[in-house]
Amino acid sequence: MKREFINLARMGKSITEWIINIMSSKKNVDYKLQRILDHNQRLREQLDLPRVRVSQASSMLIKYVQTTKDYLVPSVWGPAGPADPFVTKGGISCGGCLIS
């Protein structure tokens, strides 16, 4: 450490500048360490997520689409019945945009 200070003195730097350099480099190292620890934590959280094979996810999606009625596609499911949540109440239009 004494040798480093002597070298700094030869370059015209004061001990204050030397201490500031050491402190700022320590802050950078601390910041990098914190970023690495945060990234490691996110990776651990992702590792804990449940995984599903693509083939299984595809079959689940196909089953959902085939069994869930889509009221907005009457050509596939037929006319909407009284359980349609998108039908207007009492068959009366609730207004809308009138362009003249």
pLDDT digits (tens, 9 = 90+) for 3-30: 665 565 566 667 677 677 777 777 888 8
- Whether 74 is in a domain gets the answer no
- Whether 57 is in a domain gets the answer no
Give the per-residue pLDDT at 77. Answer: 74
List the chain pLDDT tens, one digit each, 100 residues.
556 655 655 666 676 776 777 777 778 888 888 999 999 999 999 999 999 999 999 999 999 988 887 877 777 777 767 776 666 665 555 556 656 5
Give the per-residue pLDDT at 19. Answer: 73
Give the per-residue pLDDT at 78. Answer: 75
Percent helix, strand and coil across the chain, each to the nearest 5: 65, 0, 35
- Whether 32 is in a domain gets the answer yes
Range of the domain at 7: 1-48
- Whether 92 is in a domain gets the answer no
- Whether 11 is in a domain gets the answer yes
Count of domains observed in the chain: 1
Q: What is the pTM of this model?
A: 0.39
Report which secondary-structure segment, H or E, holds 23: helix 15-47
- Whether 41 is in a domain gets the answer yes
Give the per-residue pLDDT at 13. Answer: 65
- Whether 36 is in a domain gets the answer yes
**Which residue is associated with the tokens 């651990």?**
44
Question: Which of 94, 65, 91, 90 has the alpha carbon at shortest distance from 77?
Answer: 65
- Whether 13 is in a domain gets the answer yes
